[in-house]
Structure 1
Amino acid sequence: MKNQTLPQPGALGVILQHIWNKERPWLAFVMILMALALFDTGQVAPSVAMVISALISIAPFLGASILIAAWAGATGADNLIARAFTGAPAMMIMMGALAGGLSPFCSCGVIPLIAAFLAIGVPLAPVMAFWLASPLMDPAMFVLTTGVLGFEFAIAKTLIAVGMGVLGGTIVHLLIRAGGLTDPLRDDIGNGGCGGAKVRNPKPPVWRFWQDPVRVAKFRTEGVKTFLFLLKWLSLAFLLESLMLAYVPAELVTQALGGNGLAPIAIATLVGVPAYFNGYAALPLIGTLIDQGMQAGAGMAFLIAGGVTSLPAAIAVWALVKFRVFALYIAISLGGAFVTGLMFHAWTLL
């Protein structure tokens, strides 16, 4: 019997597969416009105009975010993260939370680093602190949050990110001391993959990266990659924002998520888990909801709950730790989001 090979996809198939895997935001953007063209032609031009106008209005903040991300990649600043996990438990928890909430690390680069931390024996408490804070804030996110929601909101979210990390790390540390959470890792966790080298043998950053042609090329590559990433997600977000303004009555938002009670914050916390799809794209949507009557505390709760439990972050936790640790991670995320939402709402009333 002759050997048979599986048919290889043609050029069109490769292109479609790439679009599905990498460009789903653009695919959704085009499909939404096509649906508008079919069912409400008059809304197409206003929606496109709003997307363009919104992108222009945040262009300075967008540019700053891109430069920060490109600088971090070119200098190798992510190597500093290994230094956060040395010292006494309390210090490691604090440094882990600060590293997660303040350092310029992308989510895709954080996952292998976390696997390496756990595999080489870094205590779970500081890793949990880093894990909780990392999806919530970084310098690029801070700049965009300032541009979309204001400086006060960005400062509060940064403090909450670090506070969530410290709270989660402390809870895990106390549970471990009390005899709980023994053997928290899955059996097949491995040695941390490509992130292990950064943890075991961290290299010093090269701040004057422009003197190295390889790092200059890295700066350009990271800048273009970050620009394309932000452009597609923010374009989709601003398009959805235009539809919310066109079709969602402000009175409905005010009734469900306005007011001073606990219910709006609780609803926003729970809705944030399935509805949250990207940290950058969520910002203009929350800004629109706040303008329509959503209380600021509910907006903060949505961003915190959705950010920590977003699909990439949750899958990373699930893949590395056993179910009881994953359940604790979710409980801390939702409880922390609700409490910080209440605190931020109280702050806005002062």
Structure 2
Amino acid sequence: MWNFIQTQILGMQWLNQGIGTGLQLLGIDIAQPLGGSLHFFLYDVINITLLLCVLIFLVSYIQSYFPPERSRRIMSRFHGLGANITGALLGTVTPFCSCSSIPIFMGFTSAGLPLGVTFSFLISSPMVDLGSLIILMSIFGAKIAVAYVVVGLIIAVIGGTLIERAGMERYVEDFVRNAPLPQDAAEKMTRDERVRYAKEQVTRTFRKVFPYILLGVGIGALIHNWIPAAWISAAFGDGNPLGVVMVTLLGVPMYGDIFGTIPIAEALLAKGANLGTVLSFMMAVTTLSIPSLIMLSQVVKRRLLQVFVSFCTLGIIFVGYVFNIFQSLFL
């Protein structure tokens, strides 16, 4: 039963086979690079788009019950490590990219939540969410998907804890700490209003994310069908001990979300890249990007920004090497 759910419902192998059959009926040889690229592109775009829209709707409907003020009240009941864990978990049902997480981070900070909690949220929100769990599961399987999410949450909790214990509250800009709290009307929404809100989130997020899905799937199709496996294996496999460092530093300047990086990761893994190297690339792109760091630099001072970037970079590299060592347990 689980195999059917993973392959036919989440993985949509029926769609993969249908697209392949359709292309062959049109006289396109999917065993050749051009036909294989088209097959990969159409299947991944449709598969990710369908799952994404359904998941955004469900997550947004749930999220409508947890507006910032209510989330603040919930998190204020927890202290210490428990508060950081709560902040990281809250990040799994909030925005899908690092830039859209920052306004909520500002709201939580101005509401007086501990800095460690807000940074645990800021790290986990773009890196880990329910949508990414399902799509990762559909492509890589349950073990890799769950491991990715668990590791992402651990990085978020440790990062928030270290930042809080370092006493870096003074490095948050004054206008953020002193910002007035907005009044939340979302807690009084009717069911129809929540459905309408979820539909609006689907439209808004899809418009923002879809170009990156197209770009990510296009790059994945190129890697999957045109770049020799020996090249990928030499650059990002066992033959290159610095592969994790390379992809992490490569991923930092890029801007994207996890839905755009998954097709690239899928192609890299299929061509012989190590699992940890691929996961480090995904984490670097989704957590650390130039646009999000520019936004964050406007609300925190340079010292705190440097600590945040340094911790995330080192944490992502560490995770990559650990997964490379134990990848036989997952593949």
* 1:68 counterpart (47, 55, 58): 58
TM-score (norm 2): 0.78
Change (3 A) 1:276 1:157: farther
Match of 1:238, SS state, is helix
Q: Does the CA contact (< 8 Å) of 1:184 and 1:321 recur in 2?
A: yes
State yes or no: 1:174 paired with 2:165: yes
What whole-Å deviation, never above 9, does each CA across 1:61-120 have from its counterpart, x for those lacking one? Answer: 3343233244246x34344532224432222222112212x2233445532221122234
Per-residue deviation at 1:261?
6.3
Q: Does the CA contact (< 8 Å) of 1:237 and 1:285 recur in 2?
A: yes
Using the alignment, how far apart are the partners of 1:202 and 1:127 within structure 2? 22
Aligned to 2:79: 88
Per-residue deviation at 1:339?
1.2
Q: Which amino acid aligns with 2:163?
A: V
Using the alignment, how far apart are the partners of 1:191 and 1:110 within structure 2? 19
Per-residue deviation at 1:225?
2.9
Moved over 4 A (4+): 42-49, 57-60, 106-109, 190-193
What whole-Å deviation, never above 9, does each CA across 1:227-286 have from its counterpart, x for those lacking one? Answer: 444433222222222222344222111001101764222222222212453321111001
Using the alignment, how far apart are the partners of 2:57 and 2:169 within structure 1? 43
Using the alignment, how far apart are the partners of 2:237 and 2:143 within structure 1? 20
Q: Does the CA contact (< 8 Å) of 2:75 and 2:83 recur in 1?
A: yes
Q: Which amino acid aligns with 1:122?
A: L
State yes or no: 1:129 paired with 2:120: yes
Structure 1: 5+ residue runs without aligned partners?
1-41
Change (3 A) 1:289 1:172: same
Q: Does the CA contact (< 8 Å) of 1:112 and 1:192 recur in 2?
A: no
* 2:171 counterpart (180, 184, 193): 184
Using the alignment, how far apart are the partners of 1:133 and 1:260 within structure 2? 31
Aligned to 1:197: 182
* 2:286 counterpart (282, 290, 307): 307
Per-residue deviation at 1:190?
6.8
Aligned to 2:6: none
Using the alignment, how far apart are the partners of 1:77 and 1:224 within structure 2? 20
Q: Does the CA contact (< 8 Å) of 2:233 and 2:239 recur in 1?
A: no
Aligned to 2:248: 269
Number of residue-to-residue matches in the alignment: 295
State yes or no: 1:111 paired with 2:82: no
Aligned to 1:349: 328
Change (3 A) 1:204 1:304: same
Q: Which has the larger radius of gyration?
A: 1
Match of 2:176, SS state, is coil
Q: Does the CA contact (< 8 Å) of 2:61 and 2:195 recur in 1?
A: no
Using the alignment, how far apart are the partners of 1:347 and 1:52 within structure 2? 33
Aligned to 2:3: none
Change (3 A) 1:130 1:202: farther
Using the alignment, how far apart are the partners of 1:221 and 1:173 within structure 2? 36
Change (3 A) 1:169 1:66: closer
Change (3 A) 1:343 1:122: same
Structure 2: 5+ residue runs without aligned partners?
1-31
Change (3 A) 1:300 1:110: same
Q: Does the CA contact (< 8 Å) of 2:61 and 2:194 recur in 1?
A: no
Match of 1:98, SS state, is helix
Q: Does the CA contact (< 8 Å) of 2:101 and 2:126 recur in 1?
A: no
1:22-171 pair list within 5 angstroms: 47-58=37-48, 61-72=51-62, 75-79=64-68, 80-82=70-72, 83-100=74-91, 102-107=92-97, 109-171=100-162
State yes or no: 1:222 paired with 2:201: yes
Report the RMSD for the aligned CA atoms in angstroms: 2.8
Q: Does the CA contact (< 8 Å) of 1:254 and 1:294 recur in 2?
A: yes
